Amino acid sequence: MAESMLDDLITRLKAFAQEREWEQFHSPKNLAMALSVEAAELLEHFQWLTPEQSENLTAEKQREVELEMADIFIYLMRLCERLDVDLLQVVEEKIQLNKQKYPADKVRGSSKKYTEY
């Protein structure tokens, strides 16, 4: 189900770009750069907030954050399409790798990197 929804979204995003003749600008390099810019815009909403404030956003700020997150997701999906990446499959693989790097019994309650424990 989720995979077909992602496939549909990727198809719709590609069509959106094609209708506007933006494919020429959507090289993997440009999409990765745009993704980074959007991530920085997301960070800007949290800059200088305390952890508590970041968990209690106003409705307006919450909406702004949601839209930045959508931008990030859109560029990530476009990058997946351009590089022919099955993101759901790679996420599953990454979860398994992280389980090996970070065994729960060794890292529980710790924020250390796997090379530090």
Is 20 within the bounds of a domain?
A: yes
Measure the CA–CA gap between 75 and 6, rounded to whole angstroms. Answer: 13
User: How do residues 42-66 score in pLDDT, each as one tens digit?
Assistant: 999 999 999 999 999 999 999 999 9
Q: How many domains does the chain have?
A: 1
**Averaged pLDDT for residues 106-116:** 87
Q: What's the confidence (pLDDT) of residue 1?
A: 63
Name the nearest CA neighbour of 43 among 67, 62, 60, 68: 68
Q: CA 78 from chain center: how many Å?
A: 11
Parent domain of 58:
2-105
Q: What's the confidence (pLDDT) of residue 3?
A: 79
CATH number at residue 9: 1.10.287.1080
Measure the CA–CA gap between 89 and 97, rounded to whole angstroms. Answer: 13
Is 6 within the bounds of a domain?
A: yes
